[in-house]
Amino acid sequence: MESSRTTVDEDICIMVGGQGGDGSLTVTALLAGLFRRRGLNVYSSRNVLSRIKGGHADGVVRASRNNIKCLGDHVKVVVAFDEEAVLATKDDLDPNATIIFDSSAGELDPKLVDNTVKIYNIPFTKLILAEIRRELFKNSASFAVVGRLLGFPDEEMLQSLNSRYGAKAAPILENNIRAFKIGLEWAGKNGLTAADSTSPNTVDVKQKLLMTGNEAVSYGLLVGGVRFFAGYPITPATDVMEYLQKWFPKFGGVVKQAEDELSAINMALGAALAGARSVIATSGPGLSLIHEGMGQAGAAEIPLVIVDTQRAGPSTGLPTKIEQSDLQTLVYGGHGEFPRFVLTPGSVEDCFNIGRLAPNLAEMYQLPVIIAMDLGICQNTVTIESLDLHSGKIDRGKRLTAEDLAKMPVYGRYSFTDDGVSPYTVPSTENGRFLITGNEHNEFGHVNTDKLNRVKMMEKRSIKMKSALKDLPRGTVYGDESSKIGFIGIGSTYGVILEAMGLLAKEGVSSKYYKPLTILPLEDAIGSFLDGCDEVYVVEQNQSGQLSNLITLKFGRHKQLHNILRFDGNLFRPREISQRVLQIREKQSAIVH
């Protein structure tokens, strides 16, 4: 049989799919590692149902010499353990794609795909059952075939299996290697011979970091001095709890898994007022449960960082799918009126920087600081250059020591100040006793219902939003700043918009993009960006255009504002956005002419 090896020229995207438990994600992780060792940039995502075994699951890994930050448009290689996996990726298939199909239950019907697509039928399940008796090792056999197809030398692949399974029980490693060798044999039978070890694809190798947004935000929080975490497991926020749990023992931190989110946020409030930098992370239904506690942090002026890893709601919704549909409740949710910041990282670097900054902001301004992530940015893996650990600082705001207090005739926890921020103490500070309460209170924290006091206290708390403007993260303009066509988008739309802009440029349409980092208080820079645009496209993963509504409420409706929305639980693809823009522009010019 003739061999048709696929090589990484510029950009390649591989999808591995089957039923949950087939081990697809392991194959994409192994491939991601191999690509990275070649110095390529990697972006990978996973698509799983909220159960361990069964249901369609797939992983996608994209590798490129370019600085990719999204999935791209075309899948070039598919490893499919069943027909469903082929159907799931059919619409995104490159015309010259290759499919490696597990033909244990029959060969793939070639009519399902274009006739330009190359198909390898290899009965992985049957082979592995016959030889090893445990189906689960079939993914290592498929890894051998796809690795050969991509031109990775056998030795390199073997090494990555060793480093993945070396620490596991010996039979696990042995069986994976047996399965891998069976895969090699069948690759050979299909004309995929071993590559030599000097692969032509190797680019200049500089070691890079491979991180998800959840890893980056957790790491940022750690470096930002967070030492207390409380949470209740929920996808995709649980990762944050697990990473901190792994790191905290070396840093004297504590992670507490609570009985529910009500408990979690109140534990974090307690730890915060005792002086520990505290964080909770939640998503979906958990976000609804923490609103009372968020208001408490606002009214009682307790520093707290809240990570919301947005997923598709309402209710349990699509628990493993992306959405950006909490923005409105993050900005307005909760009873009563209280100050808060809502920050929206777009890149993995943003996740780290904002994770590190948020605990400072919380203590400097004594209020809830919300980091609004989305499932795509949380879970997808990106290669980045190293993070700069030295540029940050720890700022504990107006925290008083016993020595500071000794110089003060009077200390009231809620004393009035010009910037609205009162000096604070933590328990055990000599002469620093406080009363903290979410009831309206006077300067000493005694409950107070006087109307003048009420107005002054409300103003004191709200003025903090203005005082903080100098310290809040600001967004960035990308692309052609002189263009009159502008995009706005947050979170995981960032990488997709950048790539869509590249596609538009190829069509002769130049554009620019503003990626905001603070949506409460909404950055003024958005207003000037709108002023500099004749047409604006706000790209969001929700149904009602929540970000564009926030923008319109503050800056008025832009004369040419278009929403590009997706809420089917899947990430945007670049071409989808560029095409929508071209369509809208065509329609507009038809109206004008």
Partner 1 sequence: MTQVFEPAKPIWCAGCGDFGVQASLQKALSETGTNLNDVVIVAGIGCSGTIQNNIPTYGYHSLHGRTLPSAIGVKLANPKLTVIAAGGDGDGYAIGMGHLIHTFKRNPSILYIIMNNETYGLTKGQYSPTSNPGFEGNVENGMDGILVGLGVPSTTFLARGFAGAPAQLTRLLTDGLTHVQSGKGFAFVEVLSPCVTYNDTYKLWKNITYDVDSDTNFNPRDKIGSYTTVINKREEGKIPIGLIYSADHPSLEQVSVDDQEKGPALQDISLASNMDRYEAVMKTFLG
Which residues ranging from 368 to 407 are in contact with partner 1 (CB under 8 A)? 386-387, 389-390, 392-394, 405-406
Selected range binding partner 1 among 57-65, 90-98, 201-209, 564-572, rule: CB under 8 A? 201-209
The smaller minimum CB distance to partner 1, of residues 448 and 544, is found at: 448
For residues 261 and 309, the answer to whether their CB atoms sit within 8 Å is no
Q: Residue 439: exposed, middle, or buried by beta-carbon count in 10 A (0-12, 13-18, 19+)?
A: exposed
Residue closest to 107 by CA, chosen among 136, 86, 76:
86
Task: Confirm or reject binding of residue 446 to partner 1 (CB under 8 A).
Answer: yes
Instruction: Identify the residue among 159, 415, 417, 437 touching partner 1 (CB under 8 A).
Output: 437
Residues in 4-33 at the binding interface with partner 1, rule: CB under 8 A: 33
Stretch 229-248: interaction string toward partner 1, x if CB under 8 A: -x----------------xx
Task: Confirm or reject binding of residue 76 to partner 1 (CB under 8 A).
Answer: no
CB 423 → partner 1: shortest distance, Å? 11
The smaller minimum CB distance to partner 1, of residues 437 and 552, is found at: 437
CB 271 → partner 1: shortest distance, Å? 4
Task: Confirm or reject binding of residue 211 to partner 1 (CB under 8 A).
Answer: yes
Selected range binding partner 1 among 1-9, 411-419, 449-457, 535-543, rule: CB under 8 A? 411-419
Stretch 258-297: interaction string toward partner 1, x if CB under 8 A: xxx-xxx-xxxxxxxxxxxxx-------------xx--x-
What residues does 512 pair with on adjacent strands?
479, 486
Q: What is the spatial distance between Cα 343 and Cα 371, in angstroms, rounded to a whole number?
A: 5
For residues 467 and 447, the answer to whether their CB atoms sit within 8 Å is no
The smaller minimum CB distance to partner 1, of residues 393 and 593, is found at: 393
Mutual angle of helices 138-149 and 170-189, in 10-degree steps: 50
For residues 85 and 105, the answer to whether their CB atoms sit within 8 Å is no
Q: What is the spatial distance between Cα 296 and Cα 268, in angstroms, rounded to a whole number?
A: 12
Task: Confirm or reject binding of residue 253 to partner 1 (CB under 8 A).
Answer: yes
The smaller minimum CB distance to partner 1, of residues 269 and 571, is found at: 269
Residues in 32-71 at the binding interface with partner 1, rule: CB under 8 A: 33, 36-37
> Collapsing DSSP states into helix, strand and coil, what is residue 476?
strand
CB 465 → partner 1: shortest distance, Å? 23
Selected range binding partner 1 among 61-69, 150-158, 181-189, 425-433, rule: CB under 8 A? 425-433
Q: What is the spatial distance between Cα 572 and Cα 56, in angstroms, rounded to a whole number?
A: 20
Instruction: Identify the residue among 158, 289, 426, 477 touching partner 1 (CB under 8 A).
Output: 426
CB 513 → partner 1: shortest distance, Å? 27
> Collapsing DSSP states into helix, strand and coil, what is residue 448?
coil
The smaller minimum CB distance to partner 1, of residues 221 and 536, is found at: 221
Q: Residue 16: exposed, middle, or buried by beta-carbon count in 10 A (0-12, 13-18, 19+)?
A: buried
Task: Confirm or reject binding of residue 332 to partner 1 (CB under 8 A).
Answer: no
Q: What is the spatial distance between Cα 398 and Cα 408, in angstroms, rounded to a whole number?
A: 13
Q: Whose structure tokens read 């792994």?
A: 246
Please, how many CA atoms are within 13 Å of residue 428, restricted to the half-sphere of its CB? 3
Instruction: Identify the residue among 249, 450, 524, 557 touching partner 1 (CB under 8 A).
Output: 249
User: Would you state the structure tokens that stand for residue 521, as one six-digit string?
Assistant: 């208080």
Task: Confirm or reject binding of residue 436 to partner 1 (CB under 8 A).
Answer: yes
For residues 539 and 488, the answer to whether their CB atoms sit within 8 Å is yes
Q: Please give the span between the terminal C-alpha atoms of the chain, in angstroms, as a whole number.
A: 58
Stretch 161-200: interaction string toward partner 1, x if CB under 8 A: ----------------------------------------
- DSSP letter assigned to residue 418: T
